[in-house]
Amino acid sequence: MSIIEDLRIAVDNYETDNCKTEIVNFEITGGGGTVLNETETFMFRVRVTNQSHLDMKNVTVRVSGTSFADVAFLLIGPFGRSAVSRPFNLDAHQVHTTLFFRGKCKRVTNGTKDIVTARINSWDASFDHILRDHTGAGAAEGKLNKEIHPN
């Protein structure tokens, strides 16, 4: 395989292999309880950690509801099967937390269930971190060697 093909594969898998995507700051709207009831709404954010060397530009996060909940972004969108965040930049080795997503419980069940999933939806790769931030002074290599005599 060529280095170009290896690079393409690495970029294709970057958001899964080199980023951590977590749902954080969950809270039930207007309640304060810890168990969701049917038709109850909730809010949460998504935190994405870029754990490697590519800068990520124009990143969007998609959250998807399951059979137990629908989702929306902020207060502006209607509830549906999925919602997408506004774009943001996520440089190498940095963390970004989205604005709030909303959810609405639509089905009652007993026990703990996955009600929402999150993933990086789209992004543009940038090599700025590798090509700029990793450049610097090299080792001293050029030497001037001359014979020296006392006066």
Token code pair at residue 3: 């280095």
- The DSSP code for 128 is H
What is the number of alpha carbons within 13 Å of residue 88 lying toward its C-beta? 19
Helices and strands counted in the chain (H then E): 3, 9
Which residue in this structure is represented by tokens 């969701």? 36
pLDDT at 22: 97
Token code pair at residue 149: 């005599």
pLDDT in tens, 50-88: 999 999 999 999 999 999 999 999 887 789 999 999 999
Separation of alpha carbons 5 and 67, rounded Å: 39
- The DSSP code for 39 is T
Question: How many domains does the chain divide into?
Answer: 1
pTM, entire model = 0.82
Q: Supply the CATH number for residue 54's domain.
A: 2.60.40.10
Tell me the pLDDT band of 10, cut-offs 50, 70 and 90.
Answer: confident
Tell me the pLDDT band of 136, cut-offs 50, 70 and 90.
Answer: low
Does 93 reside within a domain?
yes
Question: In this structure, what are the phi and psi dihedrals at residue 123, rounded to the nearest 5 degrees?
Answer: -170, 160
Separation of alpha carbons 24 and 42, rounded Å: 12
pLDDT over threshold 70, residue 5: yes
Does 144 reside within a domain?
no
Does 151 reside within a domain?
no
Range of the structural domain that residue 115 is part of: 3-133
Does 140 reside within a domain?
no
* Better-predicted residue by pLDDT, 97 or 149: 97
Does 142 reside within a domain?
no
Does 149 reside within a domain?
no
Most confident segment among 5-9, 90-94, 129-133: 90-94
